[in-house]
Chains A and B, each alone.
Chain A
Amino acid sequence: MFLASLALASVTVFAFMSVLPGDPARVALGVTADPESVAQLQARFGTDRPLAVQYLDWVSGLPTGDFGRSYVTEATIGPQIVDRLLVTLWLVATASVLALLVAVPAGVVAAVRHRRPSGAFLSGMSQVGIAIPSFLAGMLLIALFAVHWGLLPAGGWTPPAQDPARFVRLLILPALSLGVVQAAVLTRYVRSAILDVLREDYLRTARAKGMGPYRALIRHGLRNAAIPVVTVLGLQLATLLIGAVVVERVFVIPGLGSLLLDGVANRDLLLVQGVVMVLVVAVLLVNYLVDVAYVVIDPRLRRAR
């Protein structure tokens, strides 16, 4: 199922980015170019071959990280993507961890105290957080922490191996701006999942065994609540990846997003095609992992597989 989705996605991306815009040799040389030099360039790009062959050539290189050569710079695309992907992964991973660390306790408290002011306050905060786009959060954080207080750098990137301290200082603000918004969204779903669980009979059974309300919730509720939350977490990871594209722009981080936007700016369509494919694979992979997670969490699904 996962592989079929991958195949379908790759065809879609290829069709959209390679077929739709027309032949790159013609695009590069313009309408006035003579047929001979067009043919020459086509041969060099490999675009004189049938589309199916071109597709297979492109797609068969993907698993080994071979994304072809840029039509614009003629540089190999693969190594650039791998470099940039690592940067983006740091950002997304840190943001996800931050989001979970905030959202799970906040969501549980908001659910357990949903009739009290503290719970309503948390719900309200999460509503407000959802309404703030991550790039806006980023700008506000820069305005406060970098410009106003001068505590942290406003942007840039250093690989962790080179200067770990600076790496961390550079990572904090972008990870926060991505994470805060995600935390807000997740809090809402954690709250609703916990509210559902709180009504379950097995929680009453746990209380009847002699567990206190929080202990019963932690031991019997959290895992049950995890099922709907994991679904959202999967969807959110996808948005987080895409959100990283924008946040990288705000903080001038050389990640996959910057590479994508530069590719678009330079009309380097094969590069764009490669980055898009990586992002789509990431989204599909996350969805697949979510399905796996269901089976790990819920024994009722195990036999069905």
Chain B
Amino acid sequence: MSSAAGNAVLTVAGLSVGVRDLRLVTDVSFSLGPGERVGLIGESGSGKSLTALSLMGLLPEGLRAAGSVRMAAVDHDLVDASERDMTRVRGDRMAMVFQEPMTALNPLMRVGDQVAEVMLLHDTQPDRRSARAAVTELFQRVHLPDPERMPGSYPHQLSGGQRQRIMLAIALANNPSVLICDEPTTALDVTVQALMLEEILAGVEREGSALLFITHDLPVVAMVCQRVLVMYGGRLVESGPVREVFTSPRHPYTAGLLASSRFEESDTAGRLPTISGSVPAAGHFPAGCPFRDRCPAATEECAEWPGWTGGAAHGFACWHPVGRTGQ
């Protein structure tokens, strides 16, 4: 499961994202093995979405990435790649499903055409006719109702869950080796969320794609992912197999996240445990360990970045890790 750099499909090394003198993501390194499902978790403002967008080369105007992002069978670095090179990667080897299905589709174009487009663009289907057939098949695979007629619909005629399946169909159309999902179920009704997750799982399994799944929802990570990366303040603070990280977190932030997501652990007053303080505005975390101003265990030492303890696939960055044997 751990991904030795040799057979990884995606290797991120020292990735940073910033705007002018402001750093929003700092020195993030990880890799994805073929077909591996990895969760990227953290509160809003932790830099997880920016990390994902910088992998795709789709950072908002004014933001710049530095470091290195390599993909298997792509002979250039994705950071600072030319627009022309990136267009060949996007939608083909690496695809992404966004958070907001209601606005992610072009309202004036039939959904079938929007799915067919990505195949014609990368020449994975030779002509419109075969692309249309492929769309019907894709729609069947993601369990959209009436796959024969659905492609003729416009986005406004479909529900949020249906639109998100169409986004998934677009993302999976060219059999990508990496699929990035940025909170794909957050905007959906609770009842639809589980179905959507199953769809994603089935999809990556079928295509053999590695999955980078961004969320702040820990139970979802437990259900979908094999490995988890925890981000805080634009930095990776812990990583490891889901089961180990969730049962014995080493970083106090991870521990806090886990505690606040467990309903049964309310204190005597009936309050749920929370992490004290609030997330600073993006780019305004303290120097050193970004968590130190909210951390119960913080000391002088924490003014300096602790460095990474352990291996790339399983480790943490903390001066005062939570005890070995868990809580």
Contact = CB atoms under 8 A, between A and B. Distances in A.
Interface of A: 115, 200-202, 204-213, 219-220, 223-224, 297-300
A210 B109 contact: no
Given A206-B106, A209-B170, A224-B107, A300 B90 contact: no
Contact of A299 (B90, B108, B121): B108
B90 A224 contact: no
Nearest to A203: B106
Contact of A202 (B88, B107, B156): B107
B106 A208 contact: no
30 contacts: A201-B100, A202-B106, A202-B107, A204-B58, A205-B104, A205-B170, A207-B58, A207-B90, A208-B90, A208-B91, A209-B90, A209-B91, A210-B88, A210-B89, A210-B92, A210-B121, A211-B87, A211-B91, A211-B121, A212-B83, A212-B84, A219-B117, A220-B109, A224-B106, A299-B107, A299-B108, A299-B154, A300-B107, A300-B154, A300-B156
A208 B95 contact: yes
A212 to B, nearest CB: 5
Contacts, number: 69
Q: What is the interface residue range for chain B against chain A? A: 20 to 34
B107 A298 contact: yes
Contact of B118 (A200, A201, A210, A223): A210
B61 interface: yes
Contacts of A115: 61
Q: For the complex, would chain A's binding face be called helix, strand, loop or mixed by DSSP majority?
A: helix
B105 interface: yes
B108 A297 contact: yes
Nearest to A213: B83
Contacts of A211: 87, 91, 121
Contacts of A206: 106
A115 B60 CA distance: 14
A230 to B, nearest CB: 13
Contact of A201 (B83, B103, B170): B103
A209 B156 contact: no
Contacts of A209: 90-91, 117-118, 121, 170
With a 10 A CB-CB cut-off, give which of B105, B108, B154, B156 has the most chain A CB atoms.
B108
A208 B103 contact: no
With a 10 A CB-CB cut-off, give which of A201, A207, A210 has the most chain B CB atoms.
A210
With a 10 A CB-CB cut-off, give which of A115, A201, A209 has the most chain B CB atoms.
A209
B167 interface: yes
B98 interface: yes
A199 to B, nearest CB: 9
Contacts of A207: 58, 90
A208 B96 contact: yes
A207 B117 CA distance: 12
B122 interface: yes
B56 interface: yes
With a 10 A CB-CB cut-off, give which of B96, B107, B170 has the most chain A CB atoms.
B107
A223 to B, nearest CB: 5
B95 to A, nearest CB: 7
Given A200-B103, A210-B91, A212-B83, A205 B108 contact: no
A210 B58 contact: no
A299 B106 contact: no
Interface string B259-292: 0000000000000000000000000000000000
Interface in B84-129: 84, 87-92, 95-96, 98, 100, 103-109, 117-118, 121-122
Contacts of B95: 208
B227 to A, nearest CB: 24
A210 B87 contact: yes
B25 to A, nearest CB: 18
A210 B89 CA distance: 7
B209 to A, nearest CB: 15
B11 to A, nearest CB: 21
A196 to B, nearest CB: 13
B98 A205 contact: yes
Nearest to B167: A205
B51 to A, nearest CB: 15
Nearest to A198: B61
Interface string B51-69: 0000010100100000000
A114 B100 CA distance: 27
Contacts of B122: 210
B319 to A, nearest CB: 39
Contact of B108 (A204, A212, A298): A298
B96 A220 contact: no
A304 to B, nearest CB: 11
Given A201-B98, A208-B56, A212-B84, 5 more contacts: A202-B104, A207-B90, A210-B118, A211-B121, A300-B107
With a 10 A CB-CB cut-off, give which of B89, B104, B105, B154 has the most chain A CB atoms.
B104
A205 B56 contact: no
A61 to B, nearest CB: 43
A220 B106 contact: yes
Nearest to B57: A207
Nearest to B109: A220
